[in-house]
Chains A and B, each alone.
Chain A
C-alpha cells in the first residue's frame, strides 16, 4: 500500500512539474513556463548519463592520481605546492605553455577563417576533396608529424632556410598545422548556413564588403569562432609530442613536465601540483571564452547550405583574396608536409621507388617489429573508433542538447555553463594523468576481468577526448536555432518530444554528421591514452606507427611512413563521407 502510494505521488510529482518550461532542465530551474510538456525524467537522464560518464572515466581517475600525489603515505603533504611553485622552471613552463597556446590559437583562427569561407561559402570543383584534405593533419600521430616537420626544418630540409629548428616559431607552425581544421570545420559549419540575406541587405544599404564582414558576418560567426578557439587553445596548451620533438630539450610545457615527472621519475608530488596548475590555467581560459561566447550569443537565421554557397567568382575581390590565401595556406601548411610524407613513403628501403612499403603493411615488419600486421591494426583501429564514436555521440549529443537550453533563472544558466565547461576539461588534462589514474581506480576486476589490461577501456578513453569535439560542433548550431521556431511548434500543439524531433533534430542532424566525422577522426588518431591501455594484440594504427618508427631498420621506417599515409587517407575518407551524409540530409526545406 505504502509502496503504491509513493509510486503514485512520484507520478503526480512528475506531472506536477509539467508546468515548468519544457525547454529547461527541471532539475536546474524553478521558473514557471507556459504549460508546455516537460519530461523531467528524460532531462534528468540527459544530464546524469554524461555526468556519470565523465565522473567515472575522467574525474575519478584524475582526482585519484592527484590525491595520491598529495597523500603519499596516508598523511596529507602539501609542501609540494611551495616547492614546485617556487621553482623558476615551473613559471618558465607556464609562460611557454601560454605563449605557444595563444600564438597557436591566434594563427589557427586567422588562417582558418579565409579557408572556412572558401570551403563552406563558395562552391568549386574539388571542394569536398579539399575539405577532407584540410582535416588530415588533425589525426596524424604527433610522432610522425614531428619527424616530418623536423625533416623540413632541419638545416638540410626544404624549409631549412627559415631557421625554425628548435624554435618557438617551429612549434607554433606545427600546432597550426594540426589545429587549423578545427577552426575551418567549426566556423565553416555555421557559416554555410548563415542566411546571406542579412549581408546582402547591409551591402545594398551601401556598406562595403569589409564593413559587411565586420558588422554582420563576424558577429554572427562569433559563437563558432570562440567555440573553435577554445578547443584549439586546449589542444595547443596540452600539445605533447610535437613540443618534445620540435622543441628539443630547451622547450617544455606543463604537459611535457607532467609526462616526465609521472612516467620517468614517478614524482607524483610534483606531477600533482602541475596537474592542478594545468587545471587552473585551462579553467581560466575556458571561463574567459565562455564569457565572450555568452555576450555574443544570438539566435541566427539559418538556411540550407545549398542556398548560401555560391560559385567562386573571380570578379569578387573577397573571393579572389580568399582563394589566394586559401591556396597558399593549404599548399604551404598542409600539402607540403603531407606531400613530403607521401613521396617519402614510396621510397623503398634499397633507395629505389615503388610500392614496397605498402606491400609490407601485410607483414609484421622487419624482424617482426610488431605483434600484428599493420592491416590488422587498421581493422582494430576502425572497430575501436566506431565504438568510441558511438559513445561520444550519445554522451556529447546529450550534453549539447542540455547546454543549448536557455533557462530563465540565473542559477540554472550558471549550472548549464558549468556543465558546458566540465566537458571541455578532458581536452585540457594530460592523457598521462588519465591513463595512470585508470590504473589505480579500475583496480577491481569486473566480472572476473581486469579492465586495465583488457583493452576494453581504449574506446572509452578515446570517447572522453572526442566528447568535447562533438559538443563544440553540435552546440553552436543548436544554440543558433531561433527559439520562436520551438515556441511556434509548441503553440501549434506539439509536445516536447515532438518539438525536439521536428525542430531541433533535423537541424542538429546535419551537424551530427560533422560531429561523427570529428569524433571518428580523433579516435582514429588518439595515441596518448591508447598507448597506455591497448594490448599488443589489440594495437591501433597510431600505436603500431609509433612502434615501427621506434625500431631500427629502413624497412620499419618505410612501413611507418606508409602506415601514416594509410591513416591520413582513412581520415580524409571518413571526413568526406561525413560531409556527404550531411549534404544528403540537407536536401529539403533547410
Chain B
C-alpha cells in the first residue's frame, strides 16, 4: 500500500488538472442524463433520495411531488438492500443524500445503531402501517415464501407440500432450490423463517435435514428462479423454489383464470421496507416531506405495480391479479429485529458451516 500512497505524494497540481479534466469530460457526457446536474445535495430546493436497485416509482408521481412541494427530487440507487445500509453506515459523516428508502427489517437495526437515520414516523400513519412501525417509517412489505410449480405436482401425482417440515420429507427429495443467505436477501429472509420456526438452536438441524433431502442452493434469486425452478418455464428441473408470495401473480395463464404456480404460505418470512431521514441531511424538511409522500394513497397504490411489494397502507386496494393469486401469509414466521441485528452474521456463518461445509 505504501507504494500506492507514495504515488500521489508529489503530484498534487497534476492531480487537480487530471481531476478537473476528467470531470469536464464526464460532464460533457452528461453522465446522469437528467440535465440539471448543477443542483446538488447542498441545494435546499433539492432532496436526494438514496435507495436500492429495486427502486422503480412512476416518474409522474415524482413530478407530482415536485410540483406540489417545489423541491427537486434526485434519486441515487446502489446495490441491494444490504449494500445500501452498509454504504449509509460508511458515509455517515458525509451522507449520500437526505432521505432513504429501502432499509428492510433485517438490516434496520444496523442502520439505527450506527445512527445513520433520524427517528421519524409521520404523525398519521395509515391503517395497518402502525403495527409494522418502529423508529422508521414502514412503506411496504412482502412475504418471502417457497413457491411450487402446480402443474408439475399435478403431473407427478404428489401432493403440493405445505409446511417447512414437508420440505425435509424424503418424498420431496431433490425438488427444492433456495438461495444463499450470504449473497441474497430472500435467502436471508428464508433463513430467518427457519430460525423463527425452529429456534436459534434448532435451525441447523433443520437445514441438515434439508441438505440430506437434496436442497440446492443458488447464489441469487434470478439464478434459482429462472434456471432451476420448473415453474418459470425456462427449462428448470425443480418444482419448489424460494421466491415471493407475489410471484404467482406473474405466472398467470393466458386467459387469466389461474396461475401455474403458488406460494406455500406456511413457509414465509415478512420483509418490511422502511423510509427515513438521513442524519446530517442538508434538507431534513424536504426529506420528511418525501417520506410523508411515500405514504400517500397514490404512491401506496402504485407500489404493487412498480416495486412488487404490498403497500403498508391496508386500505389501499390491490391489483386484481394479486387479490386472486398473491395472498399474503396469515402468520409469517417472525424473529425479533434486535436478535437479527445481534446475530445475523453469526447465523449466516453457522448456516454456511451446516450447508456448505
Spell out A's residues near B (CB within 8 Å): 45, 48-49, 51-57, 59-60, 62-63, 66, 68, 143, 146-147, 150-151, 154-157, 244-245, 247-250, 260, 262-267, 276, 279, 350-351, 364, 366-372, 376, 380, 383-384, 386-387, 390-391, 418, 422, 425, 435-436, 439-440, 443-446, 448-460, 463, 531-538, 543, 546-547, 549-554, 557
Kindly list chain B residues whose C-beta atoms are within 8 Å of the C-beta of A245. Answer: 219-220, 223
CB < 8 Å: which of B11, B59, B93 contacts A55?
A: B11
Show 26 A/B contacts (Cβ-Cβ < 8 Å), sorted by A.
Answer: A52-B15, A52-B17, A54-B7, A55-B8, A60-B8, A63-B5, A245-B219, A248-B217, A249-B217, A249-B219, A263-B80, A263-B82, A351-B233, A364-B56, A370-B56, A371-B75, A436-B90, A448-B38, A450-B40, A453-B96, A454-B32, A455-B32, A456-B23, A459-B31, A536-B53, A551-B308
Is A552's CB under 8 angstroms from B345's CB?
no
Interface hub of B18, B80, B305 (most chain A Cβ within 10 A): B18
CB within 8 Å for A538 and B32 given contacts A55-B7, A147-B223, A456-B26 = yes
Is A53's CB under 8 angstroms from B94's CB?
no
Q: Is B202 an interface residue (CB 8 A)?
A: no
One digit per residue, 1 when the CB lies within 8 angstroms of any chain A CB and 0 when it does not, for chain B 16-59 equals 11110011011111111110011111110000101001111011
Is B1's CB under 8 angstroms from A66's CB?
yes
Is B76's CB under 8 angstroms from A535's CB?
yes
Is B31's CB under 8 angstroms from A51's CB?
no
What's the nearest-Cβ distance from chain B to residue A544, in Å? 10
What's the nearest-Cβ distance from chain A to residue B273, in Å? 16
Contact size range, B: 35 or more
User: What CA separation (Å) do A454 and B19 show in the bound complex?
Assistant: 15
CB within 8 Å for A552 and B219 given contacts A386-B29, A440-B90 = no
- Interchain residue pairs A-B with the least CB separation, the first 9: A55-B8, A443-B94, A455-B32, A387-B29, A453-B76, A52-B15, A48-B14, A52-B14, A449-B40
User: What CA separation (Å) do A260 and B180 show in the bound complex?
Assistant: 11
Q: Is B236 an interface residue (CB 8 A)?
A: yes
Q: Is B124 an interface residue (CB 8 A)?
A: no
Is A448's CB under 8 angstroms from B32's CB?
no
CB < 8 Å: which of B38, B236, B348, B357 contacts A154?
A: B236
Interface hub of A53, A383, A554 (most chain B Cβ within 10 A): A53
Is A536's CB under 8 angstroms from B237's CB?
no
Is B31's CB under 8 angstroms from A52's CB?
no
CB within 8 Å for A156 and B29 given contacts A244-B220, A453-B76 = no
Q: Is B160 an interface residue (CB 8 A)?
A: no
User: What CA separation (Å) do A136 and B96 show in the bound complex?
Assistant: 36
User: What CA separation (Å) do A533 and B88 show in the bound complex?
Assistant: 14
User: What CA separation (Å) do A53 and B55 show in the bound complex?
Assistant: 33
Instruction: Please name the residue on chain A nearest to B355 by beta carbon.
Output: A249
Kindly list chain B residues whose C-beta atoms are within 8 Å of the C-beta of A386. Answer: 29
Is A267's CB under 8 angstroms from B345's CB?
yes
Is A536's CB under 8 angstroms from B7's CB?
no
Kindly list chain B residues whose C-beta atoms are within 8 Å of the C-beta of A62. Answer: 4
Kindly list chain B residues whose C-beta atoms are within 8 Å of the C-beta of A446. Answer: 23
Q: Is B247 an interface residue (CB 8 A)?
A: yes
Instruction: Please name the residue on chain B nearest to A151 by beta carbon.
Output: B227
Q: Is B356 an interface residue (CB 8 A)?
A: yes
CB < 8 Å: which of B4, B56, B233, B244 contacts A371?
A: B56
What's the nearest-Cβ distance from chain A to residue B10, in Å? 9
Kindly list chain B residues whose C-beta atoms are within 8 Å of the C-beta of A157. Answer: 235
User: What CA separation (Å) do A456 and B25 show in the bound complex?
Assistant: 9
What's the nearest-Cβ distance from chain A to residue B49, in Å? 10
What's the nearest-Cβ distance from chain B to residue A100, in Å? 16
CB within 8 Å for A538 and B34 given contacts A154-B235, A264-B183, A456-B26 = yes
CB < 8 Å: which of A267, A366, A391 contacts B22?
A: A391
Q: Is B78 an interface residue (CB 8 A)?
A: yes
Kindly list chain A residues whose C-beta atoms are within 8 Å of the C-beta of B225. Answer: 552
One digit per residue, 1 when the CB lies within 8 angstroms of any chain A CB and 0 when it does not, for chain B 235-274 equals 1110000011011001000100000000000000000000
Q: Is B296 an interface residue (CB 8 A)?
A: no
User: What CA separation (Å) do A451 and B48 show in the bound complex?
Assistant: 13
Is A536's CB under 8 angstroms from B86's CB?
no
Q: Is B169 an interface residue (CB 8 A)?
A: no
Is B234's CB under 8 angstroms from A557's CB?
yes
User: What CA separation (Å) do A265 and B79 show in the bound complex?
Assistant: 14
Q: Is B77 an interface residue (CB 8 A)?
A: yes
Kindly list chain A residues whose C-beta atoms are within 8 Å of the C-beta of B32. Answer: 454-456, 535, 537-538
